[in-house]
């Protein structure tokens, strides 16, 4: 064993985590996840391997510290600080995942009053979840720990120290973390006009995470080329604008960014189930101003995916976001949860016809009498370099309105008992023995949408409780192999057979198998 070359050992260790060296990949949203047996915990294997001898310690270190996850508690920040103080280990970090929980806020009433208040109607199941008899009482314990982390800007101090030490850092990912108790508390608070007790909120949590991450990155200046977040609030993005204006290093830092994957979660904290006013009201102009500045700095983008709240598409012209920008290195473009004109889609695609290899349109609805058939024809004619096209859940404005009306009608006829069953049974499991430090047992990470394991396509989950892939009445899908299927585009709805046909017809092949596709439009 001691005489084996290092390259051979690396080939062996690579088998524990297949696919780690494939970033960036051709289609980041349509790639099957690498097989990894559930019983294999590679982190534990690498940690034990480092205890064998000095050489094994050096061989396993790059694998053990390649990806670092940070939770918002003192224990996790302490570990991160100790890692940052060891340059030989910190230089191996290539991916940093920030697991940000909802922040707790005190109300007018203290915690014990909340637990003892019998005027709040709880089912026995909810009371058991929120107020189990064992100590410590969950909510005040987490609240005090969060305050301790932020006291004296300790979290910012450690993040700065880490970003300075992570000299090989390539990717940063920001995820929201919710335990079942957060979901129950948020839904309970949202049902009251005036809530006097402890509350948990994502908007201030995301704003705090973005602001501290930004300042730490600007301070440490690591070579970050990728940023992603599936639950970024628009208010947090506006915080980035002020940070960029404060630092002369902003242009340099954003200029090295090549991969950006963001989903905006615009839903408010206290009225999570009320989606009537969640269309970026009051944020459009500031967001447009930010993106104008952002586009001028990010000249090296090769992958860009921008999505708004799944199930709640925004009516926002593309020029108000991208301002006619042409990225000379852009290879993959994704747009999601948007109401657009056909000309907007054709225009941004044709501006990148010489570079674009992948195009993904997810939950995009055409307005102003546009036709998807016209979009497909334009892409086929001008986008000669395209290797794959994804048209997940595309449709028309009228189709979306009918879906929303169906959901609203369904919600109005649901009983209070039905809602109780949904929030307690379908959101999580194993929720009765949670401690602040045991986040692995009962959490939802990046909980705006989930991804299909087979195709990589995203399914938007709105706060009404439906997925964008659901079929309602006449909006159902048609079997792609049915010889009687109607592939004509009437500007009313888009079937699964139509979008699959257009995806293959545009690129002239089946992107999954590589087989030629010559079926006429």
- DSSP per-residue codes, 60-94: HHHHHSSEEEEESSHHHHHHHHHHHT-HHHHTT--
319 Cβ partners below 8 Å, 6+ apart? 344
Domain annotation covers residue 119 = yes
Find the farthest-apart pair of alpha carbons in the chain and give their distance in angstroms, rounded: 73
pTM of the model: 0.77
- The closest of 319, 321, 235 to 278, measured between CA atoms, is 235
Q: How many CB atoms lie within 10 A of CB 433?
A: 10
pLDDT of 112: 72
Indicate the angle between helix axes 54-64 and 6-14, nearest 10 degrees.
40
Domain end point (choices 65, 83, 118): 65
Out of 65, 94, 118, pick the residue that ends a domain: 65
pLDDT per residue, tens digit, the chain (521 aa), is 566 666 666 666 666 665 454 444 555 555 444 444 443 456 666 666 665 677 666 666 777 788 889 999 999 999 999 999 999 989 989 999 999 999 998 877 777 777 676 666 666 666 666 766 555 577 888 899 999 999 999 999 999 999 999 999 999 999 998 888 888 788 777 777 777 888 888 888 998 999 899 889 989 989 999 999 998 888 777 666 555 555 544 555 677 889 999 998 876 665 444 444 445 555 667 777 778 878 888 889 999 999 988 888 888 889 888 999 999 999 999 999 999 999 999 999 999 999 999 999 999 999 999 999 999 999 999 999 999 999 999 999 998 888 777 665 654 443 333 333 323 233 333 232 333 334 434 555 565 433 333 333 333 333 333 333 333 333 333 344 444 467 888 889 999 999 999 999 999 998 888 899 988 88
Residue 479 lies in a domain: no
Residue 449 maps to a domain: no
Same-domain pairing of 173 and 255? yes
266: tokens are 């615009």
- In a domain, residue 435? The reply is no
What integer pLDDT is reported at residue 339 of this predicted model?
Answer: 92
Question: Do 102 and 211 share a structural domain?
Answer: yes
Separation of alpha carbons 188 and 269, rounded Å? 12
Nearest to 226 by CA among 24, 22, 19, 34: 24
215: in domain: yes
pLDDT at 208: 92
Parent domain of 22 = 1-65
pLDDT at 44: 67
Task: Number of helices (H) and strands (E) in the chain: give both, helices first.
Answer: 20, 16
State the pLDDT at residue 304: 95
Helix (H, G, I), strand (E, B) or coil at 469: coil
pLDDT at res. 6? 63
- How many residues are there in the chain? 521
Which pLDDT score is estimated for 469? 36
Name the domain boundary from 382, 408, 434.
408
> Residue 275 phi/psi, 5° resolution?
-105, 10
pLDDT given for residue 256 in this prediction: 86
> Do 277 and 138 reside in the same domain of the chain?
yes
229 plus 163 within the same structural domain: yes
Q: Are residues 98 and 207 in the same domain?
A: yes
Q: Do 270 and 199 lie in a common domain?
A: yes
Report how far residue 285's alpha carbon sits from residue 291's, in angstroms, rounded to the nearest whole number.
10
Q: How far apart are CA 73 and CA 146, in angstroms?
A: 7
* Same domain for 243 and 123: yes
Question: What integer pLDDT is reported at residue 1 of this predicted model?
Answer: 58
Residue 154, domain CATH: 3.80.10.10
- Residue 329 placed within a domain: yes
Same domain, 31 and 71: no
Q: In angstroms, rounded to a whole number, what is the distance separating the alpha carbons of residues 57 and 64?
A: 10
Give yes or no for a contact between 302 and 259, defined as CB atoms under 8 angstroms apart.
yes
Residues 210, 313 share a domain: yes
Cβ atoms of residues 202 and 266 within 8 Å? no
Neighbours of 217 (CB within 10 A): 24
Number of domains in the chain: 2
Same domain, 117 and 231: yes
Task: Note the pLDDT of residue 486.
Answer: 72
Question: Does a structural domain hold residue 482?
Answer: no
| 292 and 233 within one domain | yes
CA gap 125, 313 in Å, rounded: 35
Task: Based on the fold, state whether residues 134 and 8 are members of the same structural domain.
Answer: no
Residue 516 in any domain: the answer is no
Sequence-separated (6 or more) residues with CB below 8 Å from residue 74: 145, 148, 149
């Amino acid at each position: 064993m001691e005489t084996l070359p290092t390259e051979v050992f690396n080939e062996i260790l690579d088998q524990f985590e297949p696919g780690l060296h494939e970033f960036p990949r051709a289609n980041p949203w349509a790639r099957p996840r690498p097989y990894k047996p559930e019983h294999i915990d590679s982190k534990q294997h690498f940690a034990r391997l480092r205890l064998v001898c000095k050489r094994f310690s050096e061989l396993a270190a790059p694998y053990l510290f390649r990806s670092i996850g940070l939770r918002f508690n003192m224990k996790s920040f302490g570990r991160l600080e100790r890692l940052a103080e060891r340059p030989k280990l910190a230089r191996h970090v290539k991916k940093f995942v920030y697991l940000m929980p909802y922040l707790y806020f005190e109300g007018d009433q203290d915690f014990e009053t909340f637990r003892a208040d019998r005027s709040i109607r709880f089912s026995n199941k909810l009371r058991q979840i929120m107020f189990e008899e064992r100590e410590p009482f969950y909510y005040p314990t987490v609240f005090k720990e969060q305050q301790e982390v932020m006291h004296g800007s300790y979290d910012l101090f450690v993040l700065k120290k880490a970003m300075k030490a992570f000299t090989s850092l390539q990717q940063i990912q920001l995820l929201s973390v919710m335990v079942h108790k957060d979901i129950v508390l948020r839904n309970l608070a949202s049902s009251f006009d005036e809530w006097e007790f402890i509350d948990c909120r994502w908007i201030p949590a995301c704003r705090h995470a973005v602001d501290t991450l930004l300042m730490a990155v600007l301070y440490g200046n690591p070579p970050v080329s990728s940023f992603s977040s599936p639950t970024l609030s628009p208010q947090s993005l506006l915080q980035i604008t002020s940070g960029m204006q404060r630092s002369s290093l902003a242009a340099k830092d954003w200029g090295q960014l090549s991969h950006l994957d963001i989903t905006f979660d615009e839903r408010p904290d206290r009225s999570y189930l009320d989606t009537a006013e969640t269309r970026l009201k009051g944020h459009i102009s500031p967001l447009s101003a930010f993106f104008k500045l952002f586009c001028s700095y990010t000249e090296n983008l090769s992958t860009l995916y921008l999505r708004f709240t799944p199930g709640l598409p925004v009516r926002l012209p593309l020029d108000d976001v991208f301002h006619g920008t042409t990225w000379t290195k852009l290879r993959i473009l994704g747009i999601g949860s948007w109401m657009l004109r056909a000309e907007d889609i054709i225009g941004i695609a044709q501006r990148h016809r010489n570079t674009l290899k992948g195009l993904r349109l997810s939950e995009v609805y055409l307005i102003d009498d546009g036709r998807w058939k016209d979009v497909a024809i334009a892409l086929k004619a001008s986008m000669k370099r395209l290797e794959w096209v994804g048209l997940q859940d595309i449709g028309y404005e009228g189709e979306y309105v009918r879906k929303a009306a169906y959901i609203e009608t369904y919600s109005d006829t649901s009983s209070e008992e039905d809602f109780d069953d949904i929030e307690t049974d379908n959101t999580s499991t194993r929720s009765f023995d949670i401690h602040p430090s045991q986040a692995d047992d009962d959490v939802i990470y990046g909980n705006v949408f989930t991804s299909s394991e087979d195709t990589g396509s995203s399914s938007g989950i709105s706060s009404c409780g439906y997925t964008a892939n659901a079929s309602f009445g006449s909006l159902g899908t048609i079997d792609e192999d049915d010889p009687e299927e109607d592939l004509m585009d009437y500007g009313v709805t888009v079937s699964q057979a139509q979008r699959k046909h257009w995806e293959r017809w545009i690129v002239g092949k089946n992107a999954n198998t590589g087989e030629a596709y010559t079926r006429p439009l």
